[in-house]
A = this chain, B = another copy of it.
Amino acid sequence: MRITAQEEYGLRCVLQLALQPEGSPLSVREIARREALSVAYVEKLLYLLSRAGLTRSVRGINGGYCLARPPEEIYLGEVVRALGGFASDAEICNQFTGNVESCVHMQNCGLRPLWRVAFYIQSLLDQVPLSELLEDEEDVEHSLMKKSRAQLELV
């Protein structure tokens, strides 16, 4: 269970865009400078994010990248998925090398609860907007708990 390098760096780029005043694009060169990453790598990350519809590029001499939506409407879960994120249920089954009787889709697979845990975590990340990451960090954990509770009350 790890946050991959690609997710970390990709999120750094997204957060730089979130700090930018709306409507003024930030160039790849500038993002790369601020995060001490190579220009080529930042290009690749933003390509992945744009492909997922999270960022938007402005071409031309004063171009760059913007968020496709305001930071309040972009959720951590989306960013994580765009950057390679969680494996889907189907992918898990395809890559499974073990005996068929233990497949995730079988009733008797001991790991199914683990995947439920993973999906639960994913659903929490889908409730954290970027704007929250920019606020006072002490709030994040508390906010997550509140969201957990809200989810519980629906059950």
* A interface residue numbers (CB < 8 A to B): 1-4, 7-8, 11-12, 15-16, 19, 34-37, 76, 80, 84-87, 97-99, 102, 110-114, 116-121, 124-125, 128, 132-134, 137, 140-142, 144-146, 148-149, 151-152, 155
Contacts and interface: CB of A to CB of B under 8 A. Distances in A.
Count of identical protomers in the assembly: 2
B149 A137 contact: no
A125 B7 CA distance: 21
B36 A87 contact: no
Tell me if A's interface is mostly helix, strand, loop or mixed: helix
B114 A8 contact: yes
Contact of A37 (B15, B98, B128, B141): B98
